[in-house]
Amino acid sequence: MLKGWHGWFGTFTGVAALTVAALPLAALTVWALARPRGRGTGATTAWAWRTSLAEVGMVYGTVPWVWMTLLPGSRAGAVPGRVSLVPLRDLLAILTDAPPLTATVQIVGNLLVFAALGFLAPLRFAALASVPRILALAAGCSVLVETAQYVLQLDRVSSVDDVLLNTAGAGLAALASRRWWRAAALASSARPQSAPVPGR
């Protein structure tokens, strides 16, 4: 049973429950954004809904995971930040020492942190319709998260392996949506632009 602010906002279970509870609000936000875009702007209904869904999906599918990675440990503030900069060391330790279920949850969780961003960003922004750009974006975002963990002394290890898994997850998600990149770019370029204001 979740109790108080900490139960809802300071635990993995609470964040997961809030994410599920926020799904109707996310759907309503998509509708609220798509409706004016598809009416009176010259935009097609498909473009309006696709764009709105991508925008909301990137936020809805990313914020909860980042939130979970920034939840403080039991000794937050009492111990200095810890850094692990040797690639694959932490990942191998998880695979060899942790129970299979724990290892699976940790690895899959890290792969999903920026997966929504990797999947949807190229559909929303033509400039990001490139796997190397998505990898760079995800890596940059992951480095910021790991830096925040260290600076805020959250009793978590800032690991290069987390960055690698976060980036890989975004890259794989981008590849999964690649078949729709061209259609999204064509729909965006074909969207009628607003009429110029006389005198400008």
Question: DSSP characters for 55-90?
Answer: HHHHHHTTHHHHHHHT---TTTTTS--EEE-STTHH
The overall average pLDDT reported for the chain is 91
Indicate whether 183 belongs to any domain. yes
Residue 196 covered by a domain: no
Residue 198 lies in a domain: no
The domain tally of the chain equals 1
**pLDDT of 192 above 70:** no
Contact 187, 44 (CB under 8 A): yes
Q: Is residue 31 part of a domain?
A: yes
What is the per-residue pLDDT for 195?
Answer: 45
Domain containing 77 equals 4-190
Tell me, yes or no, whether 49 lies in a domain. Answer: yes
Residue 67 included in any domain: yes
Domain-located, residue 66: yes
* pLDDT of 43: 59
Q: Flag whether 197 is in a domain.
A: no
DSSP assignment of 126-160 equals GGG-SHHHHHHHHHHHHHHHHHHHHHTT-S-EEEH
